[in-house]
Amino acid sequence: MRRKMAAGNWKMNGAQAGLSVLDGLIASHAESPCDIVICPPHPLLIPATTRCAGGPVAIGAQDCHAEAKGAFTGDVSAGMIADTGAGYVIVGHSERREAYGDTDAQVQAKAVAAQSNGLIAIVCLGESLSQREAGEALPLITAQLAGSVPEASTAATLVVAYEPIWAIGTGKIPTLAQIAEVHAKLRAELVARFGAETGEAIRLLYGGSVKPDNAANIFATANVDGALVGGASLKAEDFSPIIHALEKS
């Protein structure tokens, strides 16, 4: 009942000359039953949306400012992102939380701005290795979800991505039981907060070292509705098999 989603976060990678990656995805997934999203750096949003118009690949940004406009040098508002034709924005990625100090309240404000501008907010959360080892993963994730997700969210405006920090870019992934445990907790919290209908309909992505060879097992895990993929989304020959695994799941 939940439409599956494969989202690629290019982080600070890519250039106009490399946008042919999108052509490969468009060609291989023309009739995809899944939502496919690529989130390139801001300068590539317009060429990417132009290239993907009318096709199976949607475009998203990697962050936005909570305010609509003003003296915020270097920042980009959700309205500006929507104006490029993008449909999504990632907020609360651990790289933003760690390097820029984004708090749950700031992430929530960014997500509100995204949703108010017609974008789907992909809200990221996840624990560090020391937090997991201290047994703090579930309480932390519960608090991040409560603090980062806007009150007015619906299944049409919110996607939640669980990204354990220690799995990002490391080649390590949690056990499937650990992923299932976190996703079950997230599902229960969403149902408690938004009611059964909305809480069951909000998509939950797993992110952190998703690769072609582990994707099928991850997608077979309860309450995993897709993936947020970093490194393996940069090349069509890596991302396309992940999308195929999702399409078959």
Residue 139 or 169 having the CB closest to ligand 13P: 169
Q: Where are the alpha helices (DSSP H) in the chain?
A: 20-28, 45-52, 78-83, 94-100, 104-116, 129-133, 137-148, 176-194, 196-201, 215-219, 236-248
Tokens of 213: 């060879």
Q: Which of residues 3-32 bind ligand 13P (CB under 6 A)?
A: 9
Q: Which residue has the tokens 């989603």?
A: 5
Count of residues binding ligand 13P (CB under 6 A)?
A: 14
CA 148 centroid distance within chain: 14
In this chain, which of 157, 209, 223, 240 binds ligand 13P, going by CB under 6 A?
209
Residue 202 or 228 having the CB closest to ligand 13P: 228
Report, in Å, the least distance between residue 112 CB and ligand 13P: 21
* Residue 168 interacting with ligand 13P (CB under 6 A): yes
Q: Where in the sequence numbering do the catalytic residues fall? A: 93, 163
Report, in Å, the least distance between residue 68 CB and ligand 13P: 26
Residue 95 or 104 having the CB closest to ligand 13P: 95
Report the alpha-carbon distance of residue 41 to residue 43 in Å, rounded: 6
* Residue 228 interacting with ligand 13P (CB under 6 A): yes
Report the alpha-carbon distance of residue 65 to residue 110 in Å, rounded: 6
Report, in Å, the least distance between residue 192 CB and ligand 13P: 26
The residue ranges that bind ligand 13P (CB under 6 A) are: 9, 93, 163, 168-169, 207-210, 228-232
